[in-house]
Amino acid sequence: MLFGWRVFVFALALHKDLLGIPQVRFRAGHDDNDLKMMQDMYGWMEQILRACDAEILPHRKYLESMGDATHECGSARMGADPKTNVLNSYCQSHDVKNLFVNDGSCFVSLPGTNGTTLTIIALAWRASEYLADRLKKGELS
């Protein structure tokens, strides 16, 4: 296990962007079980639609490409302690007071299994109201 970790770190050091920042490289694909689950999902979906007397239009059964629906999170963690977190509870930077980060990077972990979009919208709305209030009070320029 330790050997695999060393190889991974070495592989990271080999691939760098234009600024010299190590880049993560990985290989991923669908296996037989993924294809079987997809067929099962489409089968159940069609069975439910038929039971509702719905018209099933021609469609293509497929799996999305790996990485097509990624949810990167956690690069600018939200929390009360500026020593261990980048943002406060309003997605405002602890260090740069007029910087607000309104995306998934504020999450400490991936929130649930239904994606991040609605949570990002709610946090952005909350941060916007906080920002507007601070601007009205003259606390931010």
Rg (CA), the chain: 22
CA end-to-end span of the chain, whole Å? 52
Where residue 59 falls among pLDDT bands split at 50, 70, 90?
confident
**pTM, entire model:** 0.52
pLDDT for residue 27? 63
Q: Does the pLDDT value for residue 64 go beyond 90?
A: no
Q: Does the pLDDT value for residue 5 go beyond 50?
A: no
User: How far apart (Å, rounded) are the C-alpha atoms in residues 141 and 126?
Assistant: 19
Q: What angle do CA 21, 22, 23 make, to 5 degrees?
A: 115
pLDDT for residue 117? 82
User: How far apart (Å, rounded) are the C-alpha atoms in residues 81 and 95?
Assistant: 11
pLDDT for residue 7? 37
Span 77-127, pLDDT tens digits = 899 999 999 999 999 999 999 999 998 888 877 766 667 888 889 999 999
* Amino acid letter, residue 73: C
Q: Where are the domains of the chain?
A: 2-51, 72-141
What average pLDDT score do residues 25-37 get? 76
